[in-house]
């Protein structure tokens, strides 16, 4: 295995790609708990319009994940004193097992399930009934905002299907989806354990793996307009008084051409710099009688969007403040405060390295942008403030939309 120690922070990891295309990342760890993640470079939004000449409904990826890590399998892992976790994102899907020792016992069970999964229609219906709990005001507003930001990009639907969309999903689609995406070249194993690198590779080679037979896929093609939004403002009725404000970034490839890897470093501290830990922003929101609930950055494929959520009955005053605030984001933070936030990020990130579950999930998260987590945190800590301000100026120009939910 190839050893790396980005930033020389004394936290090395090892990488190797096997002949079948499977990628392995190994993180040596001397603690009690061991953890492993099966990472798939396939997010929850729709990527393929057809697989093996069959149309793949939106939400198929979501239900594959839910059925693999169902309650019965979680109970089986729990009997082995193993914690389990799974998640879908816009960019990837992952399955995690954590155990005090011998992580390869539960990992073997998980890989066996990924290799020989048998889907049952009745079980799928049960899982659908559980996931179709009433949507929160936040869920409803967020999906409406994404639909207003984007014209054709699949990110506009999120990655969780609603009840009507789920009716179209059957086990045949789940099987075809797995046969195309759950294959060794698309899988990365991230393992954190108290083993030698050579032991890890030998054990990995003995794991059951999905079939590597190629399947035909028809990629979903769309042409998004990144200079405009579909709808700038909309009012809907619902269960709460919420306003959600969204910024639609230009195509990722274009941003990367201008800013390079700075783009991904900046995303690590963007919400803290501009919102979560920004005194000007916090005071401004307070003055217009609003409660700031959340800032989130969504990434999927070529698309990135920034969403802010507020609780307010004074949407006009809040939107006026936000319009002014976003007119030039480079003026919203000074060098001193930027340095403080970046330093704090670095300290918190180092602390995460002492927690196995957090460490390995951060490696998975950063891997979506092809960065080892340690490289990301070190590079972010060395960001240039002047270059960062240039990026903020660019973000200020991006098109925006908002959705107000009024309580019935």
CATH topology of domain 233-407: Cytochrome Bc1 Complex; Chain A, domain 1 (3.30.830)
The CA-atom distances, in angstroms, between 330 and each of 3, 261, 389, 393, 397 are 39, 19, 5, 5, 11
- Give the pLDDT of residue 133: 63
> What average pLDDT does range 187-216 have in this prediction?
89
As a whole number of angstroms, the distance between CA 334 and CA 250 comes to 25
- Judged against a pLDDT cut of 80, whether residue 221 lies above it is answered with no
pLDDT at 177 over 90: no
Quickly list DSSP for 10-37.
S--EEEEE-TTS-EEEEEE--SS-EEEE
pTM of the model: 0.88
pLDDT at residue 196 above 80? yes
Q: Distance between alpha carbon 326 and the CA centroid of its chain, in Å?
A: 25
Pull the structure tokens for residue 158: 């999120």
Q: What are residue 303's DSSP bridge partners?
A: 300
The CATH code belonging to domain 2-219 is 3.30.830.10
| pLDDT tens column, 129-170 | 877 666 889 989 999 999 999 998 888 888 888 888 888 889
Residues 18, 352, 9: CA angle, nearest 5 degrees:
70
Instruction: Catalogue the E-assigned strands of 135-254.
Output: 187-193, 217-219, 233-238, 242-248
SS3 at position 154 = helix
Does the fold of domain 233-407 match that of domain 2-219? yes
Tokens of 312: 């307010």
Chain CA centroid to CA 228, Å: 24
Domain ranges of the chain: 2-219, 233-407
pLDDT at 380: 92
From CA 80, how far away is CA 58, in angstroms rounded?
35
Long-range contacts of 164-167 (CB under 8 A, 24+ apart): 165/57, 165/58, 165/59, 166/59, 166/63, 166/128, 166/131, 166/132
- 106: burial class by Cβ within 10 Å (0-12, 13-18, 19+)? buried
Through-space distance between the first and last CA atoms of the chain, rounded to whole angstroms: 60
Per-residue confidence band for 96, with pLDDT thresholds at 50, 70 and 90: very high
> pLDDT tens digits, residue range 50-73?
787 788 888 888 999 999 999 999
């Amino acid at each position: 295995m190839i050893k790396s120690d980005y930033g020389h922070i004394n936290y090395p990891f090892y990488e190797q790609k096997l002949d079948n295309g499977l990628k392995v990342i190994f993180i040596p760890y001397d603690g009690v708990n061991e953890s492993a993640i099966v990472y798939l470079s396939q997010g929850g939004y729709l990527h393929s319009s057809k697989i093996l000449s069959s149309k793949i409904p939106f939400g198929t990826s979501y239900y594959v994940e839910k059925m693999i890590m169902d309650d019965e399998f979680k109970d089986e892992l729990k009997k082995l004193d193993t914690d389990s976790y799974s998640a879908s994102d816009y960019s990837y899907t992952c399955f995690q097992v954590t155990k005090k020792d011998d992580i390869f016992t539960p990992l073997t069970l998980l890989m066996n399930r990924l290799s020989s999964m048998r889907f049952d229609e009745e079980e799928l219906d049960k899982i659908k009934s559980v996931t179709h709990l009433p949507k929160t005001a936040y869920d409803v507003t967020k999906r409406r905002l994404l639909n207003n930001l984007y014209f054709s990009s699949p990110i506009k639907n999120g990655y969780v299907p609603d009840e009507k969309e789920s009716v179209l999903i059957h086990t045949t689609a789940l099987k075809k989806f797995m046969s195309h995406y759950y294959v060794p070249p698309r899988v990365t194993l991230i393992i954190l354990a108290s083993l030698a690198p050579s032991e890890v590779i030998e054990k990995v080679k003995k794991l059951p793996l999905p079939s590597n037979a190629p399947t035909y896929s028809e990629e979903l093609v769309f042409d998004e307009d990144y200079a405009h939004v579909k709808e700038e403002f909309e009012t809907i009725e619902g269960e709460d008084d919420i306003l959600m404000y969204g910024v639609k970034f230009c195509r990722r490839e274009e941003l990367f051409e201008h800013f390079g890897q700075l783009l991904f470093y900046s995303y690590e501290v963007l919400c803290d710099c501009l919102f979560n830990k920004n005194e000007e922003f916090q005071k401004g929101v307070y003055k217009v009688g609003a409660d700031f609930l959340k800032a989130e950055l969504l990434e999927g494929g070529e698309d990135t969007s920034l969403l802010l959520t507020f609780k307010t009955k004074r949407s006009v005053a809040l939107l006026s403040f936000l319009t002014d605030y976003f007119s030039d984001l480079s003026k919203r933070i000074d060098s001193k405060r930027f340095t403080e936030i970046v330093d704090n990020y670095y300290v918190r990130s180092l602390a995460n390295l002492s927690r196995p579950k957090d460490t390995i999930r951060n490696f998975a998260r950063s891997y979506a942008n092809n960065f080892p987590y340690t490289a990301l945190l070190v590079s972010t800590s060395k960001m240039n403030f002047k270059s960062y301000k240039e990026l903020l100026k660019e973000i200020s120009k991006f098109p925006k939309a908002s959705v107000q939910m009024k309580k019935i």
